[in-house]
């Protein structure tokens, strides 16, 4: 196993989270707005073709943060545009991200069936 890659993922992912934390503490942005900002930033960086250098460097340190999700959507769109033209601009994004979206919806539904919310202790 490539442990150096794991270390790079740790550091890169951590730094991306620090950016998010500074936004939380210094601005009055709600979690939803921060997630939106990250996913949009990822899509733009992905569209420009820059985000892939970060993935090459850090692997999951770049794909696991939500910017990676935005990049995945944009990259999928571009790949699909090459193979099916205009229609690909509409099908490509969700196609590439379908695994994550479907998993989130399905596991979310299951969790809500079996579990009940509890108050935060402390």
Partner 1 sequence: MKPIQSKEEYQTYVETKSPNSPIIKDCFNAFWVGGCICAIGQIIFEICKIRGIDETNSYTIVSMLLIFLSAFLTGLNIFNKIGKFAGAGSLIPITGFANSIVSPAMEYKSEGYVMGVGAKMFTVAGPVLVYGISSSIIVGLIYIIFHTQSITLI
Partner 2 sequence: MIFIKKVGNQSYILSKPVNIASTASIVGPKEKNGPLHQFFDQCLEDEFWGEKSWEKAESKIIKETVNMAIAKSGIPSKDIDFCFAGDLLNQCIASSFGLRESNIPFLGMFGACSTFIESMLTGSVFIDGDFATNVICAASSHFCSAEKQFRFPLELGNQRPQTSQWTVTGSGCAILTKEGTGPYVTTLTPGKIVDMGIKDANNMGAAMAGAAEDTLLTHFQDTGRAPSYYDAIFTGDLGHVGKDILIDLAGSKGYNIKSNYNDCGVLIFDKENQDTHSGGSGCGCIASVFAGYIYQMLQQKKYRRVLMIATGALMNSTSSQQGESIPGIAHAISIEV
User: Where on the chain is the footprint of partner 2 (CB under 8 A)?
Assistant: 24, 28, 31, 117-120, 122
Residue 41 CB, shortest distance to partner 2, in Å, is 20
Of 90, 56, 59, 55, nearest to 76 by C-alpha is: 90
Residue 54 CB, shortest distance to partner 2, in Å, is 25
Task: Write phi, then psi, for 21 (nearest 5 degrees).
Answer: -65, -40
Residue 99 CB, shortest distance to partner 1, in Å, is 4
> Are the C-beta atoms of residues 51 and 67 closer than 8 Å to each other?
yes
Q: Which is nearer to partner 2, 28 or 82 (CB)?
A: 28
Choose, by CB under 8 A, the member of 27, 28, 35, 50 that binds partner 1.
35
Whole-angstrom Cα distance, residue 51 to residue 45? 5
- 51 binding partner (options partner 1, partner 2, none; Cβ < 5 to 8 Å by kind): none
> Are the C-beta atoms of residues 62 and 51 closer than 8 Å to each other?
yes
């Amino acid at each position: 196993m490539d442990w150096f890659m794991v270390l790079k993922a740790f550091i890169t992912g951590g730094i991306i989270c620090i950016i998010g934390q500074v936004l939380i503490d210094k601005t009055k942005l709600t979690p939803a707005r921060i997630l939106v900002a990250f996913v949009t930033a990822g899509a733009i960086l992905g569209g420009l073709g820059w985000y892939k250098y970060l993935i090459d460097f850090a692997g999951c340190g770049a794909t696991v943060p939500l910017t990676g999700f935005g990049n995945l959507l944009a990259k999928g769109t571009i790949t699909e545009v090459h193979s099916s033209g205009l229609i690909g601009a509409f099908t490509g994004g969700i196609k590439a991200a379908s695994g994550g979206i479907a998993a989130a919806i399905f596991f979310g539904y299951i969790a809500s069936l079996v579990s009940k919310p509890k108050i935060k202790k402390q």
